[in-house]
Structure 1
Amino acid sequence: MRQMEDGLIPYMGTVNSGSDVEAFEHNLDQILVKVNELEKRVNEVEQIYHDQSKKQPSTSKGSTLGKDERQVNNLMKLQQDNCSREAAAAKRMQQLISQFGDIVRQITQHKWARPFMQPVDAKALGLHDYHKVIEKPMDFSTIKKQMEAADGTAYKNVREICADVRLVFKNAMKYNDEKSDIHVMAKTLLRKFEEKWLHLYPEVTKEEKRLEQEEAEAQLDMQLAKEAANARMAREISSELYEVDMHLEDLRAMVISKCRRISTDEKRKIAAALDKLPVEDVDKALEIVAQYDPSFQSKGDLVDLDLDAQSEPVLWKLKIFVKGALEVQGKSSAVVDVDSNHDRSYNNNGGNNNNSNKKRKKEICNAIAKTAKKRSLKPSS
C-alpha cells in the first residue's frame, strides 16, 4: 500500500488549516478502521491455508467464511448431499449385516455349536489359566447382543462381525488340545463358516470400494467448493484494499494541493538528499516523477532530473519521500536536512487518540526503503 508521512502535513498557507486538518484526520481514522478490518480478514484467510497445508500440502481447504451467498449455499447443499450419501451407505451396510446374520444363524444351529453359544465360565469349569491364555473371550450370545444393540455399540460393518465369529473358534482351538473334541468341533465349524463367508465376501468388497470412492468424491467436491469460497473472499479483500489505497492517494493529493510552494533552497536540499540515497530509494523517487510525467526517462545509468520543471505535487511528494527514507535509515540528522525553517509538523489537537491508531498511522505514512548499491543521479539545482 502506498505510504504517507505521519507528522509531515505541510504548512497550509492562508487556507482554513483547522478544518482541513480535522477533515484529513477524520478520513484517515476511517481508513484505519477499514485497514484493521481487512487485516483481520487477511489473517483469517492466511490461517485457513496454513491449517490446510499441514493436513494436505498439495491442496488448500478453508472454512465456509465469505460473503457470496451462492458459494455458501453450494457448501450447504454439499453437506446435505453428504448426509444423504452416508445414510444410504449405512442402509446398504445394514442389508449386508442382515445377510451375514443368516450365516451366523446357520452356524449356531449346527449340532456342535452349543459349547460356543455362551461365555466360557472359567471358574465353574476350573479353567484357572483361561483368562491368561485367552486375551479376548468371545461367544455367539455376545455377538448377537452387539448385532442387535441400539445404543451406538452395534457393529458398523460386516468385517467386525466376521472377526468376532472367527475369534470364537480360534480361542477354542488355542486353549484346547488339537485332539480334544472342542478343538475339533471349533475347527470344523470355522471351516464351514469360511465356506459360507466366501459367498458374501464379493458383495462386501464391492460395497467397501463403492463407499471409498463416494467418500473421495465427496471430499474433493467439498474441498473445491471451499477453495472457491476462499478465492472469492481473497478477491473481495484485494478489491477493498485497492479502494483504501485509492482513498489514501486522494487524501495525499488533497493535502499537497493546499501546500505552499517549495522554495529554491528546499529544491537544493531535495536534490542533495536524493544524491545520498541508495539505488532502491532513488528508483522510487524517480517513479514518483514518472507518475506525473510519462515522458520522463527514469531508467538508465545517468538520469537528468530538473526539479525546477516539476509541479508542486511532485516536489512535495519528493520532499516527503526523501525525509521518510532518511528517517528509516537513521540518517536524517547525519546526512541532509530536507526541512526548511518554514515547515511545521502537524499537531493533533485531539491528543487523546488511541495509541495504536497513532502507531498505525505512522506505519501507513512512513516510506520504507532498504540500503543497496548507489546509482548516479544528476539533479538540476
Structure 2
Amino acid sequence: MDDNVMEDFKNQVDAVQSQADMIEKKVHEIEHFYSNSKKQANSSKGGSASKDKDKDKERKKQPQDTTSKEGTASKRMQELIRQFGKILHQITQHKWAWPFMDPVDVEGLGLHDYYEIIKNPMDFSTIKKRMEAKDVSSYKHVREVCADVRLVFKNAMKYNDEKNDFHVMARTLLDKFEEKWLQFLPKVTEEEKKLEEEDAEAQLNIQLAQEAAYAKMARDISSELYEADMHLDQLREQLVQRCRKMSTEEKRQLSIALTRLSTDDLSRALDIVAQSNPEFTANTEEVDLDIDAQSESTLWRLKVFVKDALQTQSQGKPSASPGGVDNNENKNNNNNNVNSTSKRKREICDALAKTAKKKSKKVP
C-alpha cells in the first residue's frame, strides 16, 4: 500500500472522528436541554420574582404571533392604568392634597435631614408624568402606580410625627385611597389572571417546539451514528483487503498468545470475534475458537489487540500480596484501559500499513 493510499485512509478516519466529535456535542446539548427541563419542572413553585424574570426571558424568544399577543396585553394594562387615573384625579382634588402635588422644597423649607430620612421621594406630579410617558420610564403595571401613590403619603407620615398636620393629612388621604383601590382591585386581579394564563400557554408552546426540535436532533444523531459506523466498517474491510493474508505460523502464534491473556482481556478478544460472527458465543471458561475460520479483518484486529494486551500485562500486571491486590497498580491499569481504545486504533492502522509495505517489498 503506497503512502498516498495510506494518507487517504488516514484522512477518512479523521473525518469520521470529527463527525463523532460533532455527534458527541449534540448529545451533550440534548442531555443539557432535558436536564434543565426537569429542573425547571421541579422548581416551578419558586418565588414570583424569579418566575417573572424567567417569563421575560421566554417572551424574548417567542415568535411574532406571541409578540402580537404581548402587545394586546400591554394595551389592556395601559387601559387599566388610564382607569386608575380617575382614582388619582379624585384624590388630588381633595382639599388636603396640595402639599403632595409637587416635590418637597427641601432647601426652601430648610429640611436639611429630609434625604437622610426619606430615601425615595415621590409626589403626584412625578406620578402623572410617568403615567403619560411613552418611553421606558412609563409604568408597565397598574400596581406600580399604586405603590408610588402610597409612597407619597407614607413619606409624609414617616418624616412628620403623628400630631403634625401633614402627617394627619397624609394618613387621611391614604385611607381614602385604599378604599378606592379595594373597589378597583378586582379588575386588576382579573387582568393578572389572564396574563398568567397567556404566559403559561406561551411557555408551553415554546417547550413543545423545543422538545420537537431536540427529538428531531436525536433521530438525526441516530442516523449519523449508523452512517459513521458503516463508514468505519467499509474502511476496515478496504484496508484489510489491501494487506497480505495472515500466514499459518502467524495464526498459530496468535492462538498461543490468546491463551496467555487475562480473563478480562480474553473476554474482550472474544467480543472482537463475535462482532464479525454473530453465531459465535463468547465464553471465557471454555473457548472453542477456529482461527482458520475467522476473516482476515478479525485476525488482524485480534493480533493487534493481543499484542497490546500482553504488553500491558507485562508492564503493569498487579502483584499479589498476603493482604490482597496492590490498589495503586490497579489504578494505573484502569488508567491504561481508559486510553487503550484510541491507542489500539492507531496501532491497527500502523500494523496494517507495515504488513502492506513488507508485502510490496517481497520478491516474487
Same topology, TM > 0.5: yes
1:332-347 matches, within 5 Å, as none
Instruction: Please name the residue that 1:271 is paired with.
Output: 255
Instruction: Please name the residue that 1:82 is paired with.
Output: 66
Q: Scaled by the length of structure 1, what TM-score is found?
A: 0.71
| Aligned residue type for 2:190 | K
Distance 1:140 1:271 in 2: 96
Give how far 1:331 is off.
4.2
Instruction: Please name the residue that 1:40 is paired with.
Output: 22
| Aligned residue type for 2:213 | A
2:99 aligned residue (80, 96, 115) = 115
Instruction: Please name the residue that 1:171 is paired with.
Output: 155
Distance 1:149 1:128 in 2: 31
2:116 aligned residue (116, 132, 137) = 132
Q: What SS does the corresponding residue of 2:69 show, helix, strand or coil?
A: helix
Please tell me whether residue 184 in structure 1 is matched to residue 174 in structure 2.
Answer: no
Contact 2:161 2:167 in 1 (8 A): yes
Distance 2:179 2:270 in 1: 86
Distance 1:333 1:260 in 2: 33
Question: Which piece of structure 1 moves more, 87-96 or 171-180?
Answer: 171-180
Distance 1:225 1:58 in 2: 16
Residues 110 and 294 from structure 1, CA distance in 2 versus in 1: closer, same or farther, beyond 3 angstroms?
Answer: closer
Question: Which piece of structure 1 moves more, 313-322 or 119-128?
Answer: 313-322
1:191-230 matches, within 5 Å, as 191-230=175-214
Instruction: Please name the residue that 2:82 is paired with.
Output: 98
| Aligned residue type for 1:163 | A
2:233 aligned residue (231, 249, 252) = 249
Please tell me whether residue 29 in structure 1 is matched to residue 25 in structure 2.
Answer: no
Q: What SS does the corresponding residue of 2:289 show, helix, strand or coil?
A: strand
| Aligned residue type for 2:254 | I
| Aligned residue type for 2:176 | K
Contact 1:267 1:307 in 2 (8 A): yes
Residues 120 and 332 from structure 1, CA distance in 2 versus in 1: closer, same or farther, beyond 3 angstroms?
Answer: closer
Superposed CA deviations along residues 81-130 of structure 1, whole A, max 9, x for unmatched, are 33122212111110111111111011111122111101111221232322
Q: Which has the higher contact order (CA 8 A, sep 6+)?
A: 1
Give how far 1:364 is off.
4.4
Distance 1:93 1:205 in 2: 11
1:321-340 matches, within 5 Å, as 321-326=305-310, 329=312, 331=314
Give how far 1:295 is off.
4.0
Distance 2:71 2:246 in 1: 77
Please tell me whether residue 306 in structure 1 is matched to residue 306 in structure 2.
Answer: no
Residues 102 and 259 from structure 1, CA distance in 2 versus in 1: closer, same or farther, beyond 3 angstroms?
Answer: same
Please tell me whether residue 157 in structure 1 is matched to residue 141 in structure 2.
Answer: yes
Contact 2:87 2:180 in 1 (8 A): yes
Contact 2:236 2:297 in 1 (8 A): no
Contact 1:32 1:361 in 2 (8 A): no
Distance 1:123 1:58 in 2: 52
Pairwise CA RMSD: 3.2
Give how far 1:298 is off.
2.3
Residues 114 and 189 from structure 1, CA distance in 2 versus in 1: closer, same or farther, beyond 3 angstroms?
Answer: same
Residues 59 and 46 from structure 1, CA distance in 2 versus in 1: closer, same or farther, beyond 3 angstroms?
Answer: farther
Contact 2:308 2:344 in 1 (8 A): no
Q: Which 5+ residue runs of structure 2 have no aligned equivalent?
A: 43-59, 318-340, 349-364
Structure with the bigger percentage of helix: 2
Identity across matched positions, percent: 55
Distance 1:101 1:363 in 2: 79
Contact 2:270 2:282 in 1 (8 A): yes
Distance 1:59 1:41 in 2: 27
Superposed CA deviations along residues 125-168 of structure 1, whole A, max 9, x for unmatched, are 23232222222211100111111122311111111110110111
Q: What SS does the corresponding residue of 1:303 show, helix, strand or coil?
A: coil
